[in-house]
Amino acid sequence: MSNMNSILFIAPANTVHSYRWIKFFEKDLNCLWLSYHKISHELKTEFKIKNDIIYNKFLSNFFLLLSPFYTIYIFLKYRPRIIHIHSLGLNFFASIFLIIFFRKKVIMTPWGSDIYNNFFRTLIFKFIFRNHYSTTDSFEIKKILNNFSARNKIYKINFGININFYNQKFKNKSLTNKKIILCPRGYDEIYNNDLILNFIKLNKEYLTDYKFLFLGKKNKNKLRITNLANNLGIKSFCIFFNLVNQKKLLDLYKSSEFVVSASRSDAGISSSIAEAMCCKKIVLCTYNKDNPYWIQHGENGFLFLDNNINDFKKSFFAIISTSSRDKIKIAEKALKTQIKFNSYNTEMKKVLKIYDYIIK
């Protein structure tokens, strides 16, 4: 690997975000990928990522203390011109080491979990990472970084969506004779599926024409949610899927009536919400963090107050009562929002300009 225009990405291999980001720059830069996370099943199967194309070191919590030394070994071996760190997480100790010794070469892309409700890491950002380059897809995180970083080194860059893929014509293949409400965020507690299930319980006499389809990784949280649906007596209103590939996910978006997210915390706009908007689907999500920057209530989507079941009910039935003509207008505006502000190609070209600036 030549060090001319070369870059070391330290990024989780358990998320497609890392793969898409790195894939874009392969044609312009010599890219090396180091991950302290296991490669996800999705990347192995759908994108055919193999262990031997990245330095994949999945370490125990104890041995993560040694990660700075392995990272420095990789750095000295390949001598990249830039180091781009995506997410502190398991990269935390390596990040501190790199910032101290290679400040001018390092770009950070902190995730929401690195910033929100994490006092210790916020202190580290404040006192050690004061003047490093940063990118973020979140308006709210950018505000926080502005408090202790040089503003001309902070860039608002979205992860971007492959709009053409999600905005393709599609023949509806309905799973059921009911109207599908898609809940694609996952089963972890932060996504607050309990609120949706309790809403169904309280309003099921008005929801006989609907099925709520939940989607996410098979884990203990999925079991808890399915048990809750059984206990509430609403199992017949619900479908619970594991994760699906991109083509199947596209089918689900296109087959749905609209898309719901009750997540209690997001950094930038979630991929699920952005993808739904690209499919010209009306979205209903919480009024928190960055969502109000992207969605204007009643214009290109709908919002409800965080963890407020009454406000959720109000917005849900507002969508149902909206005329078909107005639904089409809202869906068209949703797509235009994504085209204007969240195109994958456009956003990655912004990043390439930053890389070029640092290299020069």
> HEC states along 122-191?
HHHHHHCCCCCEEEECCHHHHHHHHCCCCHHHEEECCCCECHHHHCCCCCCCCCCCCEEEEECCCCCHHH
d(CA 23, CA 96): 26
Verify that 206 and 172 share a domain, yes or no. Answer: yes
Of 316, 306, 303, nearest in space to 264 by CA: 306
Neighbour order of strands in the sheet with 133-136 = 55-56, 30-35, 6-10, 82-86, 106-109, 133-136, 154-156
Question: Given this model, what pLDDT does residue 92 score?
Answer: 72
pTM check: above 0.85: yes
Same domain, 130 and 141: yes
pLDDT at 127: 60
* Domain containing residue 313: 163-341
Task: Give pLDDT, residue 29.
Answer: 87
pLDDT at 1: 47
Residue 1 in domain:
no
Q: Is 145 in the same domain as 65? A: yes
On whether both 156 and 208 belong to a single domain, the answer is no
Which pair of tokens denotes residue 63?
A: 């041995």
Whether 242 maps to a domain, the answer reads yes
DSSP state of 15: S
Identify any residues that bridge with 6 across adjacent strands, giving them in sequence order. 30
Instruction: Tell the residue number behind the tokens 């719901």, with chain if given.
Output: 260
- Chunked into runs of 10 residues, the chain (360 residues) has average pLDDT values of 74 86 87 85 68 60 75 86 84 74 78 66 62 84 77 85 85 76 95 97 96 94 96 96 91 95 88 95 94 96 97 98 96 96 94 87
Residues 188 and 247 both lie in one domain: yes
CATH label of the domain that carries residue 131: 3.40.50.2000
**Domain tally, the chain:** 2
